[in-house]
Amino acid sequence: MNQLTPEEIEYIELQFIEILNVCPRCKTDEDKAKVRKAFDLANEAHKSARRRSGEPYIFHPIEVSKICAQEIGLGTTSLICALLHDVVEDTDISLEQIRNMFGDKVATIIDGLTKIAAIFDQSLSLQAENFRKMLLTLSDDVRVILIKLADRLHNMRTLEALPEYKQAKIAAETLFIYAPLAHRLGLYAIKTELEDLCLKVQHPVIYSEIKRKLAESALDRQKYINRFSMPIISKLKDNNLEYSITGRPKSVYSIWNKMNIKNVGFEEIYDLFAIRIIFDTEGEQSEKKQCWNIYSLVTDIYQPKPDRLRDWVSTPKANGYEALHTTVMGPDGKWVEVQIRSKRMDEIAERGYAAHWKYKGDQDDESELDKWIKKIREMLENPESDALEFLNNFKMNLFASEIFVFTPKGQLRRLPKESTALDFAFDIHSQIGNHAIGAKVNHKLVSLGHKLKSGDQVEILTSEIQLPQLEWLEMVETVKAKSKIKEHFKNDRREKIVKGKTTLEETFLDINMPINSQIFRRIMSYLGTYSKEELYYKIGNGEVDFTELKKAVKRKSRSKWIRYWQIQISKTTSRLPLMKRSPDTPVGNVEPIKPNKKVPLSIEENLEQKNVSIAKCCNPIPGDDVIGYINDDSMVIIHKKSCNYAVRLMSSFGNRVIPVKWTAQKVLSFLARIELNGIDNIGVVSNITNLISKELDVNMRSIYFDAHDGIFEGYIDLYVKNTSQLTELVQKIRKVKGINKVTRVEDFEEDLE
Length of the chain: 753
Strands 335-342 and 273-279: parallel
What's the CA gap between 505 and 499, in Å, rounded?
A: 10
**Per-residue confidence (pLDDT) for residue 294, from 0 to 100:** 93
**Per-residue confidence (pLDDT) for residue 555, from 0 to 100:** 57
pLDDT exceeds cutoff 70 at 665: no
Query: 121-145 b/e with 16+ CB inside 10 Å = b?
Result: eeeebbbbbbbbbbbbbbbebbbbb
What's the CA gap between 272 and 247, in Å, rounded?
A: 10
Q: Which amino acid is at 751?
A: D
The catalytically annotated residue of 18, 55, 90, 111 is: 90
pTM over 0.95: no
Phi, psi of 614 (to 5 degrees): -90, 130
DSSP category for residue 669: -
Q: Select the more confidently predicted residue: 657 or 378.
A: 657
Domains of the chain: 6-187 (1.10.3210.10), 213-351 (3.30.460.10), 487-575 (no CATH), 670-744 (3.30.70.260)
294-298, 503-507, 625-629: the lowest-pLDDT one:
503-507
> What is the 3-state composition of the chain as percent helix, strand, coil, each rounded to the nearest 5?
55, 15, 30
**Residue 72: which of 208, 242, 191 has the closest Cα?**
191
Question: Each residue of 199-219: pLDDT tens digit?
Answer: 999 889 999 999 998 888 888
pLDDT exceeds cutoff 60 at 609: no
267: annotated active-site residue: no
How far is the CA of 502 from the CAs of 499, 513, 518, 535, in angstroms? 5, 15, 19, 12
**Per-residue confidence (pLDDT) for residue 723, from 0 to 100:** 82
**Per-residue confidence (pLDDT) for residue 528, from 0 to 100:** 73
pLDDT exceeds cutoff 50 at 569: no
Confidence of residue 607 (pLDDT cuts 50, 70, 90): low
> Would you say 744 and 726 are in contact if contact means Cβ atoms under 8 Å apart?
yes
**Per-residue confidence (pLDDT) for residue 494, from 0 to 100:** 85
Q: Select the more confidently predicted residue: 391 or 466.
A: 466
The catalytically annotated residue of 8, 18, 89, 492 is: 89
What's the CA gap between 451 and 441, in Å, rounded?
A: 10
Q: Select the more confidently predicted residue: 361 or 627.
A: 627
Question: Each residue of 86-141: pLDDT tens digit?
Answer: 898 888 888 899 999 999 889 988 887 875 433 334 444 555 566 665 566 555 67
Average pLDDT of span 158-166: 87
DSSP category for residue 91: S
Confidence of residue 36 (pLDDT cuts 50, 70, 90): very high
pLDDT exceeds cutoff 90 at 198: yes
Average pLDDT of span 504-530: 75
Query: 178-216 b/e with 16+ CB inside 10 Å = b?
Result: bbbbbbbbbbbebbbbbbbbbbbbbbeebbeebeebbee
**Per-residue confidence (pLDDT) for residue 570, from 0 to 100:** 40
What's the CA gap between 38 and 26, in Å, rounded?
A: 14
Name all contacts of 29-36 with Cβ < 8 Å and 24+ positions apart: 31/75, 31/76, 34/76, 34/80, 34/102, 35/76, 35/79, 35/80, 35/83
How far is the CA of 2 from the CAs of 50, 62, 228, in angstroms? 7, 18, 56
What's the CA gap between 406 and 157, in Å, rounded?
A: 43
Range of 493-497, 588-592, 603-607, 651-655 with top mean pLDDT? 493-497
> Would you say 176 and 648 are in contact if contact means Cβ atoms under 8 Å apart?
yes
**Per-residue confidence (pLDDT) for residue 6, from 0 to 100:** 86
**Per-residue confidence (pLDDT) for residue 560, from 0 to 100:** 42
Average pLDDT of span 160-178: 85
**Per-residue confidence (pLDDT) for residue 364, from 0 to 100:** 43
Rg (CA), the chain: 31
**Per-residue confidence (pLDDT) for residue 573, from 0 to 100:** 36
pLDDT exceeds cutoff 50 at 259: yes
Mean pLDDT of the chain: 78
Confidence of residue 82 (pLDDT cuts 50, 70, 90): very high
Question: Each residue of 344-396: pLDDT tens digit?
Answer: 888 888 776 656 555 554 444 455 556 666 666 665 555 444 555 555 556 55
> Would you say 73 and 24 are in contact if contact means Cβ atoms under 8 Å apart?
yes
> Would you say 279 and 241 are in contact if contact means Cβ atoms under 8 Å apart?
yes
pLDDT exceeds cutoff 60 at 571: no
Question: Each residue of 24-35: pLDDT tens digit?
Answer: 777 788 888 999
**Residue 367: which of 314, 426, 317 has the closest Cα?**
317
> Would you say 718 and 688 are in contact if contact means Cβ atoms under 8 Å apart?
no
**Per-residue confidence (pLDDT) for residue 614, from 0 to 100:** 83
What is the percent of the chain with per-residue pLDDT over 70, rounded to a whole number?
79
284: annotated active-site residue: no
HEC states along 272-314? CEEEEEEECCCCHHHHHHHHHHHHHHHHHHCEECHHHCEECCC
Q: Select the more confidently predicted residue: 698 or 599.
A: 698
**Per-residue confidence (pLDDT) for residue 38, from 0 to 100:** 92
> Would you say 691 and 730 are in contact if contact means Cβ atoms under 8 Å apart?
no
**Per-residue confidence (pLDDT) for residue 564, from 0 to 100:** 42
